[in-house]
Amino acid sequence: MGDLVESREWYLAAYCPEGVPTSDHLKLRTVTLSLAVDSIPDNHLAVETLQLSVDPYLRGRITGILEGLFISQYQLNQVITAFAVVRVIRSNDSKYSEGDILLNPNASVAEYNIVPSSQITRKIDTSNGISLSDYLGALGVPGFAAWVGIEVLGDPKPGSNVFISAASGAVGMNAGQLAKIRGCRVIGSTGSDDKVKLIKEEFGYDDGFNYNTESDFDAALSKYFPDGIDVYLDNVGGKMLEAVLNHVNKHARIPLCGMISQYNKVWTEREGVRNLLNMVGKEVRMEGFMLESYWHRFGDFAKDMERYIQEGKVKSKNKINIGIEGFLESLNSLFSSSNIGKVVVQVKA
């Protein structure tokens, strides 16, 4: 490879406070990048991106408004970032060598980049039988979110009744399997009959329902939880969260992982929850969480999840889209009912 490369990268051209982001908001451009040895500072690496993680929280970084997730906003004209698997092209750090495969939680959404080695989370052992895409799914942001939600905050006991919304999504498929490992009865909601079949047959859910056909959520939860809900991992918010509060048991726990049904709306148009008083009488603990507050537990999570994957206790379904040019379309697919599992963009083979 020569010292100069053409690198395509996605950058923020305009904020998108509501609705689905378009090419008016996120744009693809080509820049020339020097990978010459004297262009790489001490303790930095020249890397090429192999795979990019596409996650819903990215939507919250391009609103231009600091609310909701209260996550830092990208600056206009700034290259956006994501979890990524990268390969070292040239190294100016003795800990890393050319060809090493690494996990970078703050990678530029670009084909090539020069990064500080301190940004790297881990070196990936490609001989352990775990796919690279699983490092962005079960071992990445969604897997970590599921682990924090179930293992740390939900903490269900064997035999507990656990409900997980968006159960066939990247977080939901992992969360359900983690709850099953703990010996729980696990029910999920999804957007189609095929997805209900998927979560039962591939991810071990005890049952599930299609929220588009069983649209009376109160009736559905009465049917699937005759003994009430002990833990609810909320990924959608809105009407489903309200319905859950009518079916919680005493001392139920509700980790708030995300509210994907509300992300594309300004706060004044989001659906409110009218029955919060139920939390008082049932002594419910509802708690939002951001992964950065649990980053010190990432090593524990990775150790657990790698073992579960290798033992066959956690399975994944990854949707791999080819080409960095499809990143925007991949991001928007997260907010449609067509999405199943973890979405990854493969940039380089």
8-state DSSP, 5 = E
Residues present in the chain in total = 349
pLDDT value for 261? 64
pLDDT value for 1? 67
Q: How does residue 44 score in pLDDT terms, banded at 50, 70 and 90?
A: very high
Q: How does residue 83 score in pLDDT terms, banded at 50, 70 and 90?
A: very high
Looking at residues 113-128, what average pLDDT do you find?
94
pLDDT value for 139? 96
8-state DSSP, 151 = I
Q: Which residue has the tokens 């729980």?
A: 184
Give the integer Cα–Cα distance in Å for 273 and 263: 16
Give the whole-number percent of the chain exceeding pLDDT 70: 98
Give the integer Cα–Cα distance in Å for 245 and 312: 34
User: Which amino acid is present at 49?
Assistant: T
Question: Across all residues in the chain, what is the average pLDDT?
Answer: 94
For 129-155, how does the pLDDT look when each residue is reduced to its tens digit (9 = 90+)? 899 999 999 999 999 999 999 999 999
- Contact indicator for 68, 2 with CB cutoff of 8 Å: no
- Contact indicator for 321, 344 with CB cutoff of 8 Å: yes
Is residue 340 predicted with pLDDT exceeding 80?
yes
Is residue 263 predicted with pLDDT exceeding 70?
no
pLDDT value for 336? 77
319-348 as b/e, with b when 16 or more CB fall inside 10 Å? bebeebebbbebbbbbbeeebbbbbbbbbe
